[in-house]
Amino acid sequence: MIRALSPNTQAILLLTAPLIAGRAPVSQDLLSPSELVSLARKLNKIQHKLSDLLSPDGAELMRACQSGIDAARLQRLMGRGFLLSQVIERWQARSIWVVSLADSEYPRRLKEHLPNTAPPVLYCCGDISLLASGGLAVVGTRNVDDTLIAYASAVGQLTAEAGFNLVSGGAKGIDKAVMHGALEAGGTVTAVLADGLERSTMNRDHRNLILDGRLLLISPYDPSVGINAVNTVQRNKVIYALADASLIVNSDLNKGGTWAGAVEQLDSEKLAPVYVRSTGRPTPGLDALLSKGAVPWPNPKDANELKAVLMTSGPTQVMSHQLGLTLFSGEGQSGKASISTLSPEITPQLEEPVEPKLEPAPTTVDSPESVAVPTTTAAVAPSTPADALFAVARELMVSMLKVPMKDIEIAMALNISNAQARAWLQRLIEEGSIEKQRNRAIYVSRNDMLFGQLWQPIAQFPDCEDNK
Amino acid sequence: MTYNAARALELLQKGSGYPNATFREGQEVAIRHIVEGRGRLLVVQKTGWGKSFVYFIATKLLREAGNGPALLISPLLALMRNQIAAAERMGVRAATINSDNTDDWAQVEDKLMRGEIDILLISPERLANERFRAQVLSVIAAQISMLVIDEAHCISDWGHDFRPHYRLLERIVKSLPTNVRLLATTATANDRVMNDLAEVLGPNLGVSRGDLNRTSLTLQTISLPSQAERLAWLAQQLAVLQGHGIIYTLTVRDADQVADWLKTRGFNVEAYTSETGDRREELEQALLTNKVKALVATTALGMGYDKPDLSFVIHYQMPGSVVAYYQQVGRAGRALDSAYGILLSGQEEIDIADWFIRSAFPTREEVAEVLGALEDAADGLSIPELMSRVNLPKGRIDKTIALLSLEAPAPVAKLGTKWQLTVAKLSEAFWERAERLTELRREEHRQMQDYVGLPFGEHMGYLIRALDGDASLVTKPALPQLPTDVNQALVGEAITFLRRSSLSIEPRKIWPAGGMPRYGVKGAILSNHRPQPGKALCIWGDAGWGGMVRQGKLQEQRFSDDLVAACTKMLREWNPQPEPTWVTCVPSLRHPELVPDVAKRLADALGLPFHMVITKLRDTPEQRTMANSTQQARNLDGSLVRNGQPIPFGPVLLVDDMVDSRWTLTVATWLLRSNGSGDVFPVTLSLKGQDE
């Protein structure tokens, strides 16, 4: 059965999604999540919707709404209609669904937790109703010992036995262990993947679970994109935001996707409690998270105890909508109800994004988690070695610059010359991935840029087999 | 975008080559509708109305205003050459990528990348091709300003020509945002097709529809059961019919045979089929310029072929539906005052039609076998791997995989070279649709049978009513009836002709995937162990000797003397070199006498000794129950051995009654040659196709 996409979802895909269909380079014009929200807001002011950009007078609207976004850029993006039909056909044939901010199926909690940075589009494979089921998120790093694997597996099992959905990342280590525990015990799992869905859906282990309605694979990244090609931070935000509560099994200190996601959750969101493991060997990472407001995991021993933890810690499955709305509108929204929770159409958010807080600069940068170096050349083939090098540098620098740094610090951290650091920084500024703070030699990532701009270097796509 | 009427007219005049040309009714409205972006448009106009002017002029106007290129999807691009020439006259840079012009692909791809193509013409099959989509189409996909779907009735389930890949097109259209301009064109669409198209193309579909009546056409139907009678009729009438035309047949073999027959009668005709290859363009030109009396063609010469002064279209067999027939016969007499459309009807057409209908979809068993094999292979299977696991002909495996992969969501998808199960199960709707379409095909076939039975003068009205057109304007036929009787002497000559042709048997060059373990062979077959090219007398059951072979094998358990004489004659004409010095045959445990008997009689007639030197060890299942080549090879492995008699040195005729996969002949030849015989020339009474 094919569900046609709504015109609003078509417009959102055209404006923000890379629409990878082959070897053609991904558009440089893609809107960031915040640019999309801003454009929707401007259109709303003149009584129009995003879908109106598809109408015969769409070109006129692009100028009339005064979005501050170049009308020619919008025109190029909206002109990708045939490309859109190509990729949608491909996704549909592979049972991959698209849910956009404009769809009622888009997880409400994600919109609420990430008002300006929620991924505009989620690619899903499996039972879509699992998207709304919340539950417990369990995260941790890839390289862990057997004790932590056993711990994670037990948490997964308990989550399933208590009848809660489990949200995890589908990566090696903690993610796999906790998923395995939950699925073995007959539970359901929402796996938020850091790579494209296309290959994962064909994996035989996944296939049967998906057919049984027990596993939902979702990703904020294009289904064709290979592993290691994307920044996992965006993915981690989605994991935290989809759950009623999260448990961090372990984390590095000041680095890695687990850390970054947890800190963001603790600093700016605080919509759902963040627990950290409280038994076994303590680690500097978990201790630091405790000091930032994370809560020690109360170690529920059976299903009832876990229920008690999750019921008190966040919205339940049944009441999530009302509670989510209450929490949302009660939390610094000046009493104005968010229109987005009432209407399936995308509507402007009412607040500007929170300023990123200043953190001390990290002294070392070598995290394998947030810095995904494309090692499998079969999957990703940047066009030139220089592009490949810059792709790696971009990921490293954007990740490091989540906290503001000077150019000299970057140069020292990467062990490169100051001139090289400045050259790369300038390039990142030009493409909009980072910005330079006014009158100071301090650079910082544009947090709204995590989505769109990271794509260019990985636009190469492996040659497909000719099936003529 | 603003429509420039003066520029549009100028383009028409350039393209048509007539400085005073003006638009036909509906043409300019259609161009304007598309250019201004006022919504999707369906143009239903008969062939010759000038649909190509609509999309070429629209393309040019869009490009001149800075828009991206257009993409045109058409089933038979080979036939669009004259349209492309017209496009070039108005400065539209048109290019095509299809299986006939692989040499040009690189150049076309370069031009696409540089933005030097205004309209790219491709087939729906090309659109489904992974390599094309990833390597070529992706380069322009983000700029395409207009999609043109030619022969759009194929999108509808009810359209006459069931082309699986239009399913893909249907889905692409459904997910196409409304800001991409879309023009769909067809010459034939009844109300049911129109409703279907409206659903796929959207609620705000503009329609431009002309009338169907062709006053110049004189239609007639003639029943002549045997092929020999119809061949005789053609030879008689082609001598008196004025002008030039097309003779349509249902199969490639019939087209070749009819053309050969007419050539022996002194007519300047040529066969035009899907197997014509490079000569297509030359033959199209030959008919356009009246250098041949007629082309004998399958539907490969169909949509898009434009010869306004075609004075007859004759069908050698009855096509499957009114829509298909009207499309084909409607090519005649477009710019003439009068032309003939004659339908000959014969006895074999029911079998052929039935075969087409039955084989259009895989059976539940076939689907279950293929999906079951994939279920057991967690990492997926390539087509050769499927062939070794599934006892189905390759053609059926290909068809099953193709149709399954065109479903949405598809239960199978290709990753690299291997097919894999996806997370979708095949829905029951697939079978409902298959049953519905099969029933529809049978209904359409019955409708054509009714057409055959109509009295002279009622044919055009019947066709137009069947197509939901307005039959009130139909006039009396302008030409007199053609005679329906045939000259009996000519029928006799046609029978002789039908029995004269022989078929060649090409040697296999490679052992099956995985080799033959019991024989200890694999990979390439050594050239001195391969057979020479061989000969088959006929096709199993065909109109020449085929019926007699079937009767000999199934009813009399003995092949007639006529067949031995025919084989002897065939061998004398063939005269294989080095000349065979002895005869042997393939053994069978099931019919131990049948083949040795006929081989011995053949040897006697040729004056050569007959030696039985090979025997069969075990009773394997009949090769015909092994459905594909890999299975047939495995079935044989180790079963044929020498019987202990000495093998003579000289070249040898290897006789069998029937050849299908050629593995039996291949293994027997290997045994003979590796044990000292000379060259081996296979000879069989009949040849059996894989899918029959």
Q: Which of these, B474, B473, B469, B472, lies nearest to B459 by C-alpha position? A: B474
Average pLDDT score, chain A:
76
Of A458 and B182, the one with more pLDDT = B182
Q: Tell me how far CA of residue B254 lies from CA of B79, B228, B271, B633, in angstroms.
A: 22, 12, 9, 31
Q: Which one of B37, B38, B174 has the shortest CB-CB distance to A4?
A: B174
Chosen from B2, B138, B169 to mutate, greatest number of chain A CBs within 10 A: B138
pLDDT tens-digit profile of A357-409?
334 444 343 433 333 333 333 334 456 778 788 888 888 888 788 777 778 77
Lowest mean pLDDT among A56-65, A431-440, B279-288, B358-367: A431-440
Q: Does B427 touch chain A (CB under 8 A)?
A: yes
pLDDT at A93: 84
Return d(Cα B295, Cα B354) in angstroms, integer: 26
Cβ separation A86–B425 shorter than 8 A = no
CA distance B41 to chain A (A): 15
Q: Is pLDDT of A129 > 90?
A: no
pLDDT at B428: 92
Q: Does B425 touch chain A (CB under 8 A)?
A: yes
Cβ separation A24–B142 shorter than 8 A = yes
Residue of chain A minimizing CA distance to B430: A1
Residue of chain A minimizing CA distance to B139: A24
pLDDT at A158: 96
* Cα B165-B170-B171 angle, rounded to 5 deg: 100
**Mean pLDDT of the region A32-51:** 91
DSSP conformational letter for A225: P
User: Do B314 and B191 share a domain, yes or no?
Assistant: no
| Boundary-marking domain end, from B172, B191, B209 | B209
Q: What class has domain A108-341? A: alpha beta
| Boundary-marking domain end, from B433, B456, B471 | B433
User: Do B67 and B160 share a domain, yes or no?
Assistant: yes
Q: Which residues of B touch A1 (CB under 8 A)?
A: 427
Residue B232 lies in a domain: yes
User: Do B531 and B465 share a domain, yes or no?
Assistant: no
Residue of chain A minimizing CA distance to B180: A81
Return d(Cα B121, Cα B123) in angstroms, integer: 7
CA distance B93 to chain A (A): 20
Phi-psi sector, A415: left (phi>0), alpha (psi -120 to 50), beta: left
Q: Which one of B130, B144, B424 has the shortest CB-CB distance to A464?
A: B130
Cβ separation A2–B408 shorter than 8 A = yes
- The structure tokens 């299942």 sit at B621
Q: Which one of B129, B141, B142 has the shortest CB-CB distance to A468?
A: B129
Total count of domains within chain B? 4
Q: Which residues of B touch A85 (CB under 8 A)?
A: 172-173, 175-177, 180
Low-confidence ranges of chain B (pLDDT < 70): 76-80, 157-162, 302-304, 689-692
Q: Which one of B129, B132, B179 has the shortest CB-CB distance to A78?
A: B179
pLDDT at B631: 84
User: Do B19 and B68 share a domain, yes or no?
Assistant: yes
Residue B289 makes CB contacts below 8 A (sequence gap 6+) with none
CB atoms within 10 A of CB B599: 25
3-state helix, strand, coil in chain B (%, to 5): 45, 15, 40
Cβ separation A21–B413 shorter than 8 A = no
pLDDT at A227: 60
- Token digits of residue B44: 């239903």
Beta bridge partners of A346: none
User: Do B25 and B65 share a domain, yes or no?
Assistant: yes
Return d(Cα B392, Cα B368) in angstroms, integer: 12
User: Do B166 and B257 share a domain, yes or no?
Assistant: no
Interface of B with A in 143-202 (CB under 8 A): 143-145, 147, 168, 171-180
User: Do B667 and B608 share a domain, yes or no?
Assistant: yes
pLDDT at B79: 58
Return d(Cα A175, Cα A267) in angstroms, integer: 23
Q: Are A265 and A246 in contact (CB under 8 A)?
A: yes
Q: Are A461 and A87 in contact (CB under 8 A)?
A: no
Q: Which one of A2, A81, A201 has the shortest CB-CB distance to B176?
A: A81
| Boundary-marking domain end, from B163, B186, B209 | B209
Cβ separation B141–A24 shorter than 8 A = yes
Q: Which residues of A touch B137 (CB under 8 A)?
A: 21-22, 86
Instruction: Residue B252: give the domain boundaries.
Output: 217-349+445-487
Cβ separation B38–A11 shorter than 8 A = no
User: Do B260 and B227 share a domain, yes or no?
Assistant: yes
Q: Which residues of B touch A21 (CB under 8 A)?
A: 133-134, 137-138, 141
Residue of chain A minimizing CA distance to B376: A204
Return d(Cα A217, Cα A153) in angstroms, integer: 19
Of A22 and A302, the one with more pLDDT = A302
User: Do B453 and B592 share a domain, yes or no?
Assistant: no
Residue B619 lies in a domain: yes
pLDDT tens-digit profile of A149-181?
999 999 999 999 999 999 998 888 999 999 999
pLDDT tens-digit profile of B512-540?
888 898 999 988 999 999 999 999 998 88
- Token digits of residue A162: 């208590």
pLDDT at B534: 93
Q: Are B181 and A83 in contact (CB under 8 A)?
A: no
Q: Write the single-letter amino acid at A431.
A: E
ipTM of this complex: 0.73
Q: Are B119 and B71 in contact (CB under 8 A)?
A: yes
3-state helix, strand, coil in chain A (%, to 5): 45, 10, 45
Q: Are A390 and A424 in contact (CB under 8 A)?
A: yes
Cβ separation A202–B417 shorter than 8 A = no
pLDDT at B564: 94
Q: Does B290 touch chain A (CB under 8 A)?
A: no
Q: Is pLDDT of A356 > 60?
A: no
CB atoms within 10 A of CB A408: 12
Residue B658 makes CB contacts below 8 A (sequence gap 6+) with B540, B549, B553, B684, B685, B686, B687, B688
CB atoms within 10 A of CB A238: 27
Q: Which residues of B touch A27 (CB under 8 A)?
A: 142
Q: Which of these, A88, A225, A43, A67, lies nearest to B180 by C-alpha position? A: A88
Cβ separation B180–A82 shorter than 8 A = yes
Cβ separation B141–A27 shorter than 8 A = no
Residue B523 lies in a domain: yes
Q: Is pLDDT of A447 > 60?
A: no
Cis peptide before B578 (omega within 30 of 0): yes
pLDDT at A321: 37
pLDDT at A379: 36
Q: Is pLDDT of A346 > 70?
A: no
Residue B440 lies in a domain: no
* Helix segments in B273-313, DSSP class H: 280-288
Q: Which of these, B533, B622, B539, B606, lies nearest to B576 by C-alpha position? A: B533
Residue B459 lies in a domain: yes
Q: Which residues of B touch A94 (CB under 8 A)?
A: 409-410, 413, 422
Q: Are B495 and B232 in contact (CB under 8 A)?
A: no
Residue B494 lies in a domain: no
Q: Does B65 touch chain A (CB under 8 A)?
A: no
User: Do B617 and B670 share a domain, yes or no?
Assistant: yes
Q: Which one of A126, A202, A466 has the shortest CB-CB distance to B420?
A: A202
Instruction: Break chain A into its structural domains and give their ranges.
Output: 7-94, 108-341
Of A1 and B67, the one with more pLDDT = B67
Number of A/B CB contacts below 8 angstroms equals 158
Beta bridge partners of B448: none
pLDDT at A76: 93
Cβ-count burial of B625 within 10 angstroms (0-12 exposed, 13-18 middle, 19+ buried)? exposed
- Token digits of residue A467: 């099936």
Phi-psi sector, B140: left (phi>0), alpha (psi -120 to 50), beta: alpha
User: Do B182 and B33 share a domain, yes or no?
Assistant: yes
Return d(Cα A173, Cα A99) in angstroms, integer: 29
- Token digits of residue A123: 């690619």
Q: Is pLDDT of A3 > 70?
A: no
Q: Which residues of A touch B179 (CB under 8 A)?
A: 53-56, 58, 78-79, 81
Q: SS3 for B32?
A: helix
Residue of chain B minimizing CA distance to A92: B409
Confidence of residue A268 (pLDDT cuts 50, 70, 90): low
Q: Does B422 touch chain A (CB under 8 A)?
A: yes
User: Do B476 and B504 share a domain, yes or no?
Assistant: no
**Mean pLDDT of the region A98-121:** 86
Return d(Cα A347, Cα A49) in angstroms, integer: 9
* DSSP secondary structure of A265-324: IIIII-SS-EEE--SSS--HHHHHHHHTT-EE-----SHHHHHHHHHHHS--TTTHHHHH
pLDDT at A23: 77
Return d(Cα B57, Cα B15) in angstroms, integer: 9
pLDDT at A374: 34
CA atoms within 13 A on the CB side of B30: 29
